[in-house]
Amino acid sequence: MAKTSKKQLPGIAFEKGEHLVLVIKRTKLIPLGFWAGAFICSIVLIAASILINGGSSFIFNLDPTSRSFFLMIILVVLGTIWIATLISTHVYSGNCLYVTNKRLIQNSVTSLFSSSTNVIDLVAVEDVSFKQSGIFEHMFSVGTLRMSTIGSETTYTFENVDTPTDELEIITHLVHVEKGEAPAEACVVNGAANTASTVINSSAPTTVVATQPVTFASTNDSVPPVIEVIAPNTPSAEGVDTSSTTFNPPAN
């Protein structure tokens, strides 16, 4: 788990016992809008270049020099649009919120040469909420994740996130666990308890060995049998040997 976490977050030094729980990314609707706009603009520019280069003189009455000039402008604009689309997609996708069992690590990228990392200890988190505003956010279930800290009253925001219902529950649970207000993993605790119960109440068959002949005579002179019960090798309580138990029945 630690190696996987370091690969996903190469620039972050993990603490002892810290591991990555989940990664929250921005919605993919915004990059789709970037690419859709680039495609539409490309179609319009290509259509214009075809009309300028091979259209009739009635529509574009231009000399060869002017046509070459306009075609060059169209090519430059087309290249600029696609370069801007690639850069915008890269910058947009670089914004992530990493959640570990101890911290919230927000990686904010605003341009190719501008980025920042905010590290928030879960102990310092006071409130985690999700806010939506506007028709677009309500229509596509997109909003802003807000994380408020104790003391300095600083609020960290992570915008354009798909409705993080499960993510909010996970972060809230981790905050309570780090503050000692909730068990670390209820399923693990219950599993450990069930395992312990199974070991103590082992239902494995036992072997009964009579070390002396058993007599069924009714006289009192008969020697009472000594019956040894040998149990399988199972973990026992500290200082107690459960490998065998000898019972000496009272003489009649």
Res 68: pLDDT: 85
Indicate if the pLDDT at residue 16 is higher than 90: no
Quote the CA–CA distance of 199 and 191 in Å, as a whole number.
12
Burial 6-45 (b: 16+ CB within 10 A, else e): eeebeebebeeebebbeebebbeebbeebeeebeebeeeb
Higher pLDDT pick, 6 / 125: 125
Average pLDDT, the chain: 73
Res 18: pLDDT: 84
Are 105 and 98 in contact by the 8 Å Cβ rule? The answer is yes
Tokens of 50: 């075809």
Provide CB contacts within 8 A for 208, sequence distance 6+: 227, 228, 229, 230
Quote the CA–CA distance of 252 and 152 in Å, as a whole number.
82
Mean pLDDT, residues 181-193 taken together: 45
Tokens of 15: 């603490």
Question: What percentage of the chain has pLDDT greater than the value 70?
Answer: 63
